[in-house]
Amino acid sequence: MRLKDARSLPPQAQQALRKRAVMAVIEKKRSQGEVAQEFGVTRTAVNQWVQRYRRGGETALNACQQGRREHPTLQRSQVTTITRLIRDYAPEQLQLPFPLWTRQAVSHLIEQYWGITLCQTTIGRYLRHWGLSPQKPAKRAREQCRLTVQQWLSYEYPAIAQRAQQEGGEIHWGDEMGLRSDHQAGTCWSEVGKTPVVEGTGQRFGCNLISTLTNRGTLRFQVFQGGFNSDVFLEFLRRLIRSTKNKVFLIVDRHPVHRSHKVQQWVAQHQDELELFYLPPYSPEQNPDEFLNQDIKSNAMRRQRPRNRNELMKMVRSYLYKIQKCPERVSRYFWARSVQYAGL
């Protein structure tokens, strides 16, 4: 009797079938093709069974556990260690030849620590089960001192916030950035294998932007041409204090212009209207204004390509005016985890 598909049999019946087929080849000296045709299986399957029998004897033909395992290969303590290492360290810190945590890197980690070899498909299933997902990593400078950042979060900024509350002031977060005509933002649907082409001017031009925002939704900005220097910064500060009724507590990064002698001298003469504070070195992720910058770069030039510098500046101003009229949108820049401390 010929079987339609031996894989539909229960494990014990498959085990008996394997043994009968192998005995027909080994003891009765029948060809593997004839045995395969008689038992309704492929010749490749019969050949594999014979090879297993010759390597491990009759026990090698016993039924194995089928389907997904009820318990993971890794123990709970091992899973805890793996997730902690992925969360707290980069692969290079663990002497692994990978810059990022990929499935292959996690596989090497497991093999290096416990001698367990897992395929990348299994690794991917485990990572998702552990609550992990592939993400675009954020950049952080090696020069950043985490102790200094922690001191800023725990002591320095709370002291600034307390002073601002006592004196009835406003905390503004400031930053500068440049925009270029050849910046590509957004994606485009296209046929597979054919990269879409976006037409634009071949001329290169740009403009600069300086802005401040508060967690209450206030946005102030200035779009300008040329380089960023002390005169430009002081002009913006004068406009900022004129447009603000209360004292301004301005927090910026450690750009040389922010710390120039000319700026320091002017700030000292206007302490009743404005005070200047500095973020920890190499810590742009602690500044909510960085999320405004990213919003502008991603969306301001997405719908239209500027043909000259005046059009570029007009587009940026128009986009910022729209944001300025939506305080709740400005407040959402403070929702990111790295800057939630500034939204309180």
Q: State the Cα angle at 239 between 268 and 153, rounded to 5°.
A: 60
Q: Do residues 107 and 118 touch, judged by C-beta distance below 8 A?
A: yes
What pLDDT sits at residue 1? 45
Q: Give me the residue spans of the domains in the chain.
A: 6-61, 76-129, 146-181+202-343
Residue of 67 and 271 predicted with greater confidence? 271
Alpha-carbon torsion, ordered 142, 147, 149, 152, to 10 deg: -160
CATH superfamily membership of 146-181+202-343: Ribonuclease H-like superfamily/Ribonuclease H (3.30.420.10)
Does pLDDT of 2 surpass 60?
no
Is the model more confident about 74 or about 261? 261
Confidence (pLDDT) at 255: 96
- Give the confidence band of 71 by pLDDT, cuts at 50, 70, 90: very low
**From 67-76, 95-104, 121-130, 145-154, the region with the lowest mean pLDDT:** 67-76
More confident residue, 34 or 63: 34
**Reduced to 3 states, what is the DSSP secondary structure of residue 277?**
strand
pLDDT the model gives residue 74: 86
Instruction: Evaluate if residue 173 carries a pLDDT over 50.
Output: yes
65-91 mean pLDDT: 80
Could you tell me which of 257, 253, 210, 256 has the C-alpha nearest to residue 229?
Answer: 257
Q: What is the mean pLDDT of residues 145-171?
A: 96
Calculate the alpha carbon distances from 190 to 194, 197, 299, 305 in Å: 7, 10, 20, 19
Q: What is the pTM of this model?
A: 0.70
Question: What are the beta bridge partners of residue 277?
Answer: 251
Query: For position 70, what pLDDT does the model report?
Result: 47
Check: CB of residue 105 under 8 Å from CB of residue 134.
no
259 close to 278: Cβ distance less than 8 angstroms: yes
Q: Is the pLDDT at 11 greater than 70, yes or no?
A: yes
pLDDT value of position 285? 94
The helix/strand/coil state of 250 is: strand
Q: What is the full DSSP assignment across 62-102?
A: S----SS-SS-SS-HHHHHHHHHHHHH--GGGGT-S-SS--
Strands (E), the chain: 170-180, 206-213, 219-224, 248-252, 274-278
Q: Give the lowest-confidence range in 170-179, 182-191, 323-332.
A: 182-191
